[in-house]
């Protein structure tokens, strides 16, 4: 799309945005992929429409506040990136745009406080854990609370487990075949500590030693995707200091959103002094299923014990795994490698579940519609188990599947592998 975006005044992020706008030929192939277009059926709430809006705002032809409602509804799921034949890096565009536009936004004091609270609590596992446990007691009050407070409570499990800090070093079992660094993540440490415990066990079992480098923190994705660029930059730089890519075969994450966030570092630092460091770092980042999928493809993955009975597993593609990282085959391959497991494909599998980082908190109505639709689609396959590779999807799907009265366990792919190794599947 031809544009007059004033790149000279916008710097590195301006280049990122102008490049993406340039690449769009407004063909409309993205429309059927977009969850908000599916729900709302209008052009402004489609990827193509949003690109036009961002271009107009950047060129000065449209006030930011006019475009904002439509841009805020974008989940950042990047299904449009998968669908786009022209190669438009839409994810980079919306992220850079949010970072550029947030300081110019006029927000109500309530809105401002809510966003500040989210960005304070989410990246701090201990604070989050306390908040989640307080929230679990407030759950009975949910029906009488305003939507903004109700939606986070709805997502909390009935029982919030105690924190289980992971050891800084987990040795390899048997012959040492590799050494990886691991990002422990934030909210999931509080909500689902077993994700990390299972990850460490499975890696160790495969002869991989795992280091949890000191000084690491939140990946910064939540801050970045909500436009809090300065906060995000602090977190990004802290992680660049904590992880030395030369020391490890890979830098692993088991949360799709975090992994995608880590892979975005070169874009975040485009045109800045740390760009080369960010590239070296990002080149080592892998999702846990991508890494183990590599072992499976090489024929070096330790075989698991068979499932105790034939199990149908509905695998949900997390947007930040499938669309943002292009990781689709590996989690399915890993599940299929367990004797007795059949992987089921979910109708409308490419459509976001509505969790999308903080979307549940910011756009509860659309998030709920998508969550209901996703749960319905999953349950139409009649699974014994539901698998995904992202904490956000996990809580959203669990909440909506339960609401629709189904008790099928919702698990991380790695938890299923872990159970299979232990003969407990």
* Largest distance between two CA atoms of the chain: 64
Q: Is 4 in the site for another protein (CB under 8 A)?
A: yes
Among 6, 11, 66, 329, binds another protein (CB under 8 A): 66
Measured from the Cβ of residue 167, the count of other Cβ atoms closer than 10 Å reads 10
Measured from the Cβ of residue 114, the count of other Cβ atoms closer than 10 Å reads 17
Q: Is 15 in the site for another protein (CB under 8 A)?
A: no
Among 14, 70, 222, 386, binds another protein (CB under 8 A): 70
Q: Is 203 in the site for another protein (CB under 8 A)?
A: no
Among 7, 10, 15, 23, binds another protein (CB under 8 A): 23
Q: Is 168 in the site for another protein (CB under 8 A)?
A: no
Q: Which residues contact 386 (CB under 8 A, 6 or more apart)?
A: 313, 314, 316, 378, 397, 401, 408, 409, 410, 411
Using CA atoms, how far apart are residues 129 and 150, in angstroms rounded to an integer?
Answer: 18
**Cβ(16)–Cβ(270) below 8 Å:** yes
Q: Is 345 in the site for another protein (CB under 8 A)?
A: no
Q: Is 84 in the site for another protein (CB under 8 A)?
A: yes
Among 15, 43, 274, 348, binds another protein (CB under 8 A): 43
What is the DSSP-derived secondary structure letter of residue 218?
-
Q: Is 349 in the site for another protein (CB under 8 A)?
A: no
Q: Which is nearer to another protein, 83 or 278 (CB)?
A: 83
- Stretch binding another protein (CB under 8 A), from 22-30, 133-141, 304-312, 365-373: 22-30
- Stretch binding another protein (CB under 8 A), from 6-14, 20-28, 129-137, 398-406: 20-28
Number of residues that make up the chain: 425
H-assigned helices in 243-349:
256-263, 265-268, 275-282, 288-298, 319-322, 329-336
Q: Is 24 in the site for another protein (CB under 8 A)?
A: yes
Q: Which is nearer to another protein, 38 or 251 (CB)?
A: 38
Closest distance between another protein and the C-beta of residue 15, in Å? 15
Closest distance between another protein and the C-beta of residue 83, in Å? 8
Q: Which is nearer to another protein, 53 or 341 (CB)?
A: 53
Q: Is 62 in the site for another protein (CB under 8 A)?
A: yes
**Cβ(78)–Cβ(91) below 8 Å:** yes
- Per CB under 8 A, contacts with another protein among 249-278 are none
Using CA atoms, how far apart are residues 169 and 158, in angstroms rounded to an integer?
Answer: 32
Closest distance between another protein and the C-beta of residue 86, in Å? 3
Closest distance between another protein and the C-beta of residue 6, in Å? 14
Using CA atoms, how far apart are residues 316 and 385, in angstroms rounded to an integer?
Answer: 11
Among 11, 63, 103, 310, binds another protein (CB under 8 A): 63
**Of 375, 423, 419, 416, nearest in space to 399 by CA:** 375
Q: Which residues contact 31 (CB under 8 A, 6 or more apart)?
A: 37, 46, 47, 48
Using CA atoms, how far apart are residues 228 and 103, in angstroms rounded to an integer?
Answer: 8
- Stretch binding another protein (CB under 8 A), from 24-32, 114-122, 170-178, 179-187: 24-32
Among 12, 15, 39, 56, binds another protein (CB under 8 A): 56
Residues that bind another protein (CB under 8 A): 1-4, 22-29, 31-32, 41-44, 49, 52-53, 56, 61-63, 66-67, 69-70, 84-88
């Amino acid at each position: 799309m031809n544009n007059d975006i004033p790149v000279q005044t916008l710097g590195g992020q301006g280049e990122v945005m102008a490049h993406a706008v340039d690449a769009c030929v407004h063909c409309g192939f993205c429309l059927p992929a977009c969850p908000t277009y599916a729900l709302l059926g209008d052009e402004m709430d489609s990827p193509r429409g949003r690109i036009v809006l961002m271009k107009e705002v950047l060129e000065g032809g449209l006030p930011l506040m006019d475009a904002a409602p439509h841009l805020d509804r974008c989940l950042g799921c990047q299904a449009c990136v998968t669908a786009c034949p022209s190669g438009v890096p839409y994810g980079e565009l919306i992220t850079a745009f949010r970072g550029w536009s947030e300081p110019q936004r006029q927000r109500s004091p309530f809105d401002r406080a809510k966003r500040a609270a989210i960005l304070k609590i989410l990246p701090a596992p201990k604070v989050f854990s306390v908040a989640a446990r307080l929230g679990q007691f407030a759950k009975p009050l949910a029906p009488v609370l305003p939507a903004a407070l109700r939606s986070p409570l709805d997502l909390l499990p009935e029982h919030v487990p105690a924190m289980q800090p992971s050891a800084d070093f987990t040795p390899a079992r048997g012959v040492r075949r590799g050494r990886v660094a691991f990002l422990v993540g934030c909210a999931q440490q509080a909500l689902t500590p077993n994700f990390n415990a299972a990850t460490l066990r499975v890696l160790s079992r495969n002869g991989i030693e795992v280091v949890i480098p000191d000084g690491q923190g939140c990946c910064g994705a939540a801050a970045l995707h909500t436009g809090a660029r300065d906060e995000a930059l602090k977190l990004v730089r802290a992680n660049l200091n904590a992880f030395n890519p030369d020391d490890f075969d890979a830098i692993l994450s088991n949360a799709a959103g975090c992994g995608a966030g880590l892979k975005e570092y070169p874009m975040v630092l485009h045109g800045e002094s740390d760009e080369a460091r960010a590239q070296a770092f990002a080149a080592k980042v892998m999702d846990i299923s991508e890494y183990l999928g590599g072992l499976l493809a090489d024929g070096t993955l330790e075989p698991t014990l068979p499932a105790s009975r034939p199990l149908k597993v509905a695998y949900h593609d997390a947007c930040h795994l499938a669309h943002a990282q292009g990781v689709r085959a590996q989690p399915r391959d890993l599940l299929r490698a367990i004797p007795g497991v059949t992987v089921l494909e979910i109708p409308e599998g490419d459509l976001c579940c509505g969790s999308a980082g903080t979307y549940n908190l910011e756009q509860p109505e659309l998030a709920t519609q998508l969550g209901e639709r996703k749960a319905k689609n999953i349950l139409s396959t009649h699974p014994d188990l539901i698998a995904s590779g992202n904490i956000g999807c996990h809580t959203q799907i669990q909440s909506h599947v339960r609401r629709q009265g189904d008790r099928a366990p919702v698990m991380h792919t790695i938890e299923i592998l872990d159970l299979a190794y232990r003969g407990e599947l």
